Structure 1
Amino acid sequence: MPSDAKKRCAAQLLFAQNMRRIRLEKKLTQEQVAERAELHPNYISSVERAERNLTISSIEKIACALGVPMPVLLSNTV
């Protein structure tokens, strides 16, 4: 059986990396992002660990909470 890391798709990992990078650049905690996005802090944590298959609605909420356009969270460029 494949490990959890292998089950995660490239888009989930890219989103998680970008989300964490942007959050840290803006000096926000996971709790602050969760509050701004109206999502549970545990959900935000699991997104950053690439454990969630997000909906478009959640992506939009997180992007708004971080103050970035949605495509930035899936961009390969830093």
Structure 2
Amino acid sequence: MSEVRNAMASYIKQVHKTKRPVIITQHGKGVAVLLSASEFEAMQKKMELLSDVQSSLNQLAKGEGILHQEAKDKLLKRVPQCR
């Protein structure tokens, strides 16, 4: 951890340059991850999308889904400029 404190600016530059996270370890075990704000936001969006997909799959498994054409019709009614 003391190495991280002393080299934080260097790690931030590395994350920004490589677009890859840096794993921070303590006693040989990963305890934290340093990544760029833009990468974090992108990851959050992906997780939200995957959560939505999982919710949709769960609804379909329960028979709560609707046909593609019905979904398309509902969407087009809500967003008329897409016609």
Common fold by TM > 0.5: no
Identify which of structures 1 and 2 has the higher relative contact order when contacts are C-alpha pairs closer than 8 Å and 6+ apart. 1
Task: Report the structure, 1 or 2, having the larger strand content.
Answer: 2
With the length of structure 1 as denominator, give the TM-score of the two structures.
0.28
